């Protein structure tokens, strides 16, 4: 079992969508190389997201999901759950969210600028150099 996360699912090439559909429908993946075809079992959860295909990437509530995403009905039917998330424009709320996010970025910048952060990086860098030297001398590291 595994998890496969795909962003901008509707922008995948058609050949990739065929493979994903096979994995979702039959729980197998087929690979053909040099005249040989091999089939492997694939049991994975697929989490996918996509934006509307309309100009400006705005969801049109007058259109159905197939028309908004450009994905074929057989492929959409393989998903157990489908959530439509619409970003309503609310300027005051959006400004509050921006201030909150930028405040977190400022906090992160303070952490990066701290001496503790630099000492941690230097220690990690020395450790990586020692491991690289050991590898170059044929010593296996696990």
Exposed/middle/buried for 69, CB within 10 Å: 0-12, 13-18, 19+?
A: buried
| CATH no. of 2-76 | 3.40.50.300
C-alpha to C-alpha distance for 36 and 62, rounded to whole angstroms: 47
Q: Is pLDDT of 2 > 60?
A: yes
> What residue segments make up the domains of the chain, in order of their start?
2-76, 91-136
For 45-97, how does the pLDDT look when each residue is reduced to its tens digit (9 = 90+)? Answer: 888 899 898 888 888 889 999 998 888 888 888 888 899 888 888 899 988 98
Cβ pair 26, 44 in contact under 8 A: no
Residues 130-141 have pLDDT tens digits of 777 777 777 665
């Amino acid at each position: 079992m595994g998890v496969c996360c795909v962003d901008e699912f509707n922008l995948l090439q058609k050949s990739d969508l065929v493979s994903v559909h096979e994995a979702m429908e039959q729980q197998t993946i087929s690979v053909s190389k040099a005249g040989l075809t091999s089939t492997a079992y694939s049991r994975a959860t697929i989490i996918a997201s996509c934006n509307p295909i309309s100009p400006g990437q705005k969801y049109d509530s007058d259109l159905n999901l197939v028309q908004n995403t450009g994905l074929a009905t057989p492929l959409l039917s393989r998903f157990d759950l489908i959530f439509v998330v619409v970003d309503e424009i609310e300027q005051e709320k959006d400004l509050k969210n921006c201030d909150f996010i930028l405040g977190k970025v400022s906090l992160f910048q303070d952490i990066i600028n701290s001496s503790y952060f630099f000492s941690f990086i230097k220690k990690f860098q020395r450790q990586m150099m020692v491991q690289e030297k050991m590898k170059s001398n044929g010593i296996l590291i696990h």
